[in-house]
Amino acid sequence: MKFGVVVFPGSNCDHDAFYSVKSVIKQDVEFIWHKEKKIGHLDCIILPGGFSYGDYLRTGSIARFAPVMNSISDYAENGGLLVGICNGFQILTELKLLPGALLMNSTLRFICKHVHIKAENAETPFTNKIREGQILKIPIAHKEGNYFISPEELDKLEKNRCIVFKYCDENGKIIDSANPNGSLDNIAGICNEKRNILGMMPHPERAMEDVLGSSDGKIIFESIVDFIRNR
């Protein structure tokens, strides 16, 4: 079993993701340079957070044209597991591997803090070890994490149970005051209809050990490992 972590110029959570896989869940992992094209040997690929290519035009808009993304698109189309975290989520929407867009936070400010998210679908490769309705404490760190999608597409997400996580309070209530960035319907993470692509704004790789304030992110990575072992 082997993970890959993509490295773009400007990535700043690539080493966090690498450490999470290698040192916490004890799995093989390698870095994937943004110009690489051979990735078919990997069981799961992570697009990490950061500021790919400096986000100089729009978050994720340059990274979508990186040479590696053609290979990643093919990889995902063939059922490979793909996780986009924060900037990685933004890249996935730019590439149209996931629907919607990430807009400027409603506060117009960068936000970095722990939040609570509720698992809305426990039947994905990324949540199979999580109870439906389980609350996780995971940090966010973004300025453009305000998820938006058209009403028609939102209905489709709901109908196909593609909403994986929603922002909630510590008691699991999905309310406006628990929404840190203005995301539509408190959406914090979604998957595609095939369930092999996950995009989420919170950073599970920053919540792998209790010393960091929470180890709740670990169960997401453990779910991926469990799925790969049993498929």
**Where in the sequence numbering do the catalytic residues fall?**
86, 203, 205
Residues in the chain: 231
Determine the Cα–Cα distance for residues 30 and 44; give it in Å rounded to an integer.
11
CA 170, 174, 176, 182 torsion-angle sign: positive
Let me know the angle formed at the C-alpha of 141 by 128 and 188, rounded to the nearest 5 degrees: 40
Sign of the alpha-carbon dihedral angle for 145, 148, 153, 154: positive
Please count the CA atoms within 13 angstroms of the CA of 117 that sit on its side-chain side: 32
Three-state SS sequence of 186-223: HEEEEECCCCCEEEECCCHHHCCEHHHCECCCHHHHHH
Sheet containing 44-47, strands listed edge to edge, beginning at the edge strand earlier in sequence:
28-33, 2-7, 44-47, 81-85, 197-200, 187-191, 163-168, 111-119, 135-142
